């Protein structure tokens, strides 16, 4: 699949995986000055062996500009296998009746900001989700840094407009969390400032009807704050589905 100057494919070799792990290291560890990772500048963990890895490359040069991994689950009964289950109590999703896919370690090379990269990622995911009959996409959406005060407006907007339905709401499991739904219940956020501070991937989720947990996990190893994010495929409008398949319009602003 191609979009503009870029093409996407699944990783096929150990060398492909190593390239993805190095880009992840650049984005999550070296770039944010977090501690962790291997001495050979790779970000890797035990979930890599369970997942399929997606590469987005500049077609002419072969430069890797984006990568992420997906973990298919046959139903909610497998939710404990997910990466997210390490940080969130996902018992509410254990009875989910349908296929799920966890999207993780999504990152874009710091020197490449072309919006076609994100568009191609979603187009590929849309094809995959429809071909496999997936009902729910989920994962962790990360804010760089571990100080919640830097994202006050963003968290306040999430509390006000985008909390998960009660039937799917993740509960606290991690030792360090910021309970923004409780802490910011009287906040009056500035929508423009909130969306400017929101990670691009999370903005896309929200624009399509996605929702988040009521707390953020503080992850010192990755130097991030992350929120559990879910998107029920049935909630995506026909107009947005057309965009995801490669239409020219931009994703609408979720505010």
128-158 burial, b at 16+ Cβ within 10 Å, e below that, comes to: bbeeeebbbbbbbbbbbebebeebbbbbbbb
C-alpha distances out from residue 17 to 42, 43, 54, 118, 238, Å: 10, 10, 9, 20, 34
Would residue 219 count as lying in a domain?
A: yes
Within a domain: residue 234?
A: yes
Number of separate domains in the chain: 1
Per-residue model confidence (pLDDT) at position 32: 53
Asked whether residue 135 is assigned to any structural domain, the reply reads: yes
pLDDT at 42: 94
In whole angstroms, give the CA distance from residue 109 to residue 66. Answer: 6
Cβ neighbours, 10 Å, residue 170: 25
Mean pLDDT (the chain, rounded)? 90
Spatial distance between the Cα atoms of 59 and 77, rounded to a whole number of angstroms: 39
Q: Measure the N-to-C terminal CA separation of the chain; round to a whole number of Å.
A: 30
CATH of the domain at 114: 3.40.630.30
Beta partners for 172? 88
Tell me if 253 is assigned to some domain. no
| Sign, Cα dihedral of 234, 236, 142, 9 | positive
What is the model's pLDDT at position 37? Answer: 47
pLDDT at 217: 98
Domain that holds residue 121: 2-244
Q: What is the pLDDT of residue 199?
A: 93
Q: Which residue numbers in the chain have pLDDT < 50?
A: 37-38, 247-255
- Spacing of C-alpha 39 from chain mean position: 26
On whether residue 54 sits in a domain, the answer given is yes
Question: Helix, strand, or coil here: 35?
Answer: coil
The Cα 24–Cα 200 span in angstroms is 16
The pLDDT assigned to 251 comes to 44
Is the residue at 251 inside a domain?
A: no
Residue 4 has φ and ψ, to the nearest 5°, of: 60, -125
For residue 45, the model assigns a pLDDT of 94
């Amino acid at each position: 699949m191609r979009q503009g100057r870029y093409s996407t494919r699944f990783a096929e070799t150990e060398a492909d995986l190593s390239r993805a792990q190095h880009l992840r290291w650049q984005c999550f560890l070296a770039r944010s000055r977090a501690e962790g990772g291997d001495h050979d500048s790779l970000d890797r963990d035990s979930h890599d062996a369970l997942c399929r890895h997606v590469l987005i490359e500049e077609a002419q040069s072969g430069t890797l500009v984006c990568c992420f991994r997906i973990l298919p689950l046959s139903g909610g009964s497998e939710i404990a296998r997910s990466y997210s289950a390490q940080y969130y109590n996902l018992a509410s999703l254990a009875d989910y009746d349908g296929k799920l896919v966890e999207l993780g370690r999504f990152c874009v090379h710091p020197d490449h900001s072309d919006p076609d990269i994100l568009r191609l990622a979603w187009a590929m995911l849309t094809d995959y989700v429809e071909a496999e009959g997936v009902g729910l996409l989920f994962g962790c959406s990360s804010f760089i840094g571990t100080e919640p005060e830097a994202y006050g407006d963003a968290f306040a907007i999430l509390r006000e407009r985008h909390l998960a339905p009660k039937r799917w709401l993740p509960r606290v499991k991690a030792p360090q969390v910021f309970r923004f739904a409780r802490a910011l219940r009287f906040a009056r956020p500035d929508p423009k400032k909130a969306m400017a501070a929101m990670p691009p991937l999370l903005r896309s989720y929200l624009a399509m009807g996605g929702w988040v947990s009521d707390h953020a996990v503080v992850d010192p190893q990755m130097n991030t704050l992350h929120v559990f994010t879910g998107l029920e495929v049935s909630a995506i409008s026909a107009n947005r589905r057309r965009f995801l398949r490669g239409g020219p319009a931009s994703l609408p602003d979720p505010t």
